[in-house]
Structure 1
Amino acid sequence: MTEKKKDKVLHSLVAGLVAGGVEATITYPTEYVKTQLQLDGSSGTKRFKGPIDCAIKTVQEKGVFGLYKGLSALVIGTAAKAGVRFLTYDQLKTLLQDENGKVSGPRSMLAGLGAGMVEAITVVTPTETIKTKLIHDQTRAQPQYNGLVHGVTKIIANEGLGGIYRGLFPVMMRQGANQAVRFSTYSTLKQEFQKYSGPPGQPLPALVTFGIGAIAGTVTVYATMPLDVIKTKMQGLKAKELYRNSFHCGWKVLKEEGLFAFWKGATPRLSRLLFSGGIIFTVYEQVMTGLKKIDGTKI
């Protein structure tokens, strides 16, 4: 590998790690509420009327920091998965680009699909499972987990390593679909804006990058929400008792809760991805630009 390629790989990894950590910390309360809404009713009892009611009850019962339960697991996981995601996407995009260095929409979607699958296997499944169990544990009369390390230790002790890889299949499907839709939408819109933004290769203004990322996040939410609902239910504390597999889970949701249950939690997830798409792409682009300037490479 040449020095220039090594720099590009390192830049992608570092920028992705920073972008993921910043995005997760800012948007976590919406992820908490989304997860609670998706788990609500799994045991036959509904506690929340909607996202606002969920947020208010959580603050009343557990204080403001109750909305940040499981944050450490998601920050670590989001930083790592963003690093893996952007690194994998950039490498696949390089392989799929044409002789002019351009990547078509379908090829960008393929690169995003590959990036999503890789991040699902290496990072997302264990961190999302841990986060979901930590959040679900808060609904118990007497929570069993005292934090990230204690929670992970007990989960592995009770369920083995498979306990933190619960829901691997739906996570792979969701992450693959997420990144295929997100990257193809972002890449297509970015190329269109760059046609009118000045000289080729010129970085887009941060506000434009944020707007494009937000649009990509919105499209992603509604296209992949059913997979996210199944993923969350398969990672709940009682998933082993309630569902035989992901397909059985999907059938039970449809049968017992109705078609629109597949979009339960869409509002807080949209709130998160609307901003997370803007934040993560903006921070990523800015960090990449900064790293290239530090290294003295041509932008």
Structure 2
Amino acid sequence: MSIAGGTAGAVEAFTTYPAEFVKTRSQFGGKKTPPLTIVRETLAKHGVTGLYSGCGALVIGNAAKAGVRFLSYDWFKSKLVDREGKLSAPRSLLAGLGAGMVEAIFAVTPSETIKTKLIDDSHRPNPQYRGLVHGTVSIVRQEGISGIYRGLFPVMMRQGANSAVRFTTYNTLKQLVQGAAGARPGQQLPSTITFGIGAVAGLVTVYTTMPLDVIKTRMQSLEARQNYKNSFHCAYRIFTEEGILRFWTGTTPRLTRLVLSGGIVFTVYEQIIKLIA
């Protein structure tokens, strides 16, 4: 399970990273910049590689995250299924919430913090980090281990909500499709159907968890310690100073990424499980 999940996570992260880069850049404070403007400016200054700034951190983190997510979700799921092996929507929500919390602690927060700081640093006049390894060492040297665990609370909230919504939507739609097609529980669906269901799950996830993602990005930026006391103070400042719509900044690039992500991750995961089996 962890091998399949890790491979799926790494493939998804690399494939969709430019959208993640644009989303993160658009969520920093200051002037609101349209996604296409961010792409044009980055390409003009840094070329195509500029859109992959911080990619290494996310690919490694995503592989670990997906491995932990699927492994922990399957563990929670095994404890919550009924006698017929079925998982109800509320129990799937609970299993996804548990998986999200576990992945936030062990994989997501460090990789997301490093990725966010590298992206924030990359568009400054004089960047201080020279890649993933140098950036990570510098952050730990300057701020200690707590430096790469910046924003743990909003990450746990976001990942818990992400996994709960995504797995519940995916499993509910999958069971509906299997029922409509007359397939038995556990039977493999065609890859195109799996991709479509995963994409819809990604779509639902984006709109329900976007505010948590914005707070997470702000708390992991280079100026977070100067600007915000904690996640609640960050949310309060965004709401009072920038308006409620700012919580949905970066929706378009995140939507692009998570719709593709949902399709890619679940398709790759189920195909690898099939091969292993």
Which category describes the TM-score, using the shorter chain as reference length?
over 0.9
> Aligned partner of 1:271: which letter?
T
- SS of the aligned residue for 1:102 comes to coil
- Matched residue, 2:160: 176
The corresponding residue for 2:248 is: 263
Contact 1:197 1:204 in 2 (8 A): no
Count of aligned positions: 276
| Corresponding letter in the other structure for 1:140 | R
1:117 aligns with 2:96: no
CA offsets 1:92-117 (integer angstroms, 9 cap, x no match)? 10100000000000000000000000
TM-score when scaled to structure 2? 0.98
* Paired residues for 1:53-202 under 5 Å: 53-200=37-184, 201-202=186-187
User: Which consecutive unaligned segments of at least 5 residues does structure 2 have?
Assistant: none
**Letter paired with 1:79:** A
**Superposed displacement of residue 199, structure 1:** 3.8
Structure 1 consecutive aligned stretches of length 4 or more whose deviation exceeds 6 Å: none
Aligned to 1:222: 207
Deviation at 1:198, TM superposition (A): 4.2
Contact 2:96 2:168 in 1 (8 A): yes
Larger-gyration structure (1/2): 1
Name the % identity: 62
Q: State the secondary structure of the residue aligned to 2:126.
A: coil
Separation of aligned partners in 2, 1:84 and 1:143: 33
CA distance in 2, matches of 1:157, 1:90: 37
Where do 1:204-243 residues align within 5 Å?
A: 204-243=189-228
Aligned partners of 2:29 and 2:218 also within 8 Å: no
Q: CA deviation at 1:138?
A: 1.1
Aligned to 1:49: 33
List gaps (5 residues or longer) in structure 1. 1-11, 293-299
Quick one: which of 27, 32, 40 aligns to 1:38?
27
Contact 2:17 2:55 in 1 (8 A): yes
Deviations 1:27-46 (A, max 9, x none): 000000000000141xxxx2
1:14 to 3, 6, 22: 3
Q: Secondary structure at the match of 1:142?
A: coil
> Does structure 2 retain, via aligned residues, the 8 Å contact 1:214–1:276?
yes
